[in-house]
Structure 1
Amino acid sequence: MPGSDRTDRPHGPQGATGAAGPCADIDAQQDSADFELRAAVKPGVPFPHTFVGIRDLRGNDANPPLRWTDLSGLPGYPNGTSDMTGVACGVSINGHSASGNNQNPIKIDIIICGPSWTFVTNQPM
């Protein structure tokens, strides 16, 4: 890209790396007229919280409510304790058809930030 490596402007050495900012993320999916999915990681104390939501679009309501569930209190949630190093930093949500053996059609993936990056995958809703 032209001008991206400009040497005609004064500059000094790179500064020290600052503290990590709070983790926050959002994801959404709506592949049909039946339902809408949302997922969010919200900064919090003592650890970030992860919420997932679903909106039923099959009725006559022009603006149906979004029902949220807080995953943060569930067993195995990444809250930085000794049994789960790191905290939730990112989330994704995906809906699949509930046919055959797939009885958990909504899949949630959580990225854990800590000493290393880890995925907690396929958490059924």
Structure 2
Amino acid sequence: MDKLISMLGHDGCRGVMRSNNGETIVFHNRGVIDLFNAVTSHPDLAQGAIVADKVIGLGAAFLLVKGGVTEVYAEVISRPAANELQSAGISLSYGKIVDHIINREGTGICPVERLTANAKSPDEAWKLIKEFINRNS
């Protein structure tokens, strides 16, 4: 995990996932799109993987649970995200915990955190996030 944490912020790295077989996926985009794509397109790599990320909100937490990740580090994590990960038995460490992830403009709650606030399962959140990504791409 220390190696993954040290990668954050270098060369545009916003997050990184390392699979059980040692394969590494680096996330460069803001938001959840890279994590969504990793969990959706490479479920075999996500299962049992470890992840370090700059920011994890509730939507990202649901994706990590859906993917079967076993350990997570976040520089910043929201309380709802931390609760979701811990409820799923995922080992969690973080730099700072906040009530909610703030949107890019700094004017309110992150749209994906707000979108998934009432989701009852990782699968439900995944569908909501998929629709959000499709609408905004």
Q: TM-score range by the shorter chain?
A: under 0.3
Q: Which has the larger radius of gyration?
A: 1
TM-score, normalised on structure 2? Answer: 0.24
Structure number having the greater helix percentage: 2
TM-score, normalised on structure 1? Answer: 0.26
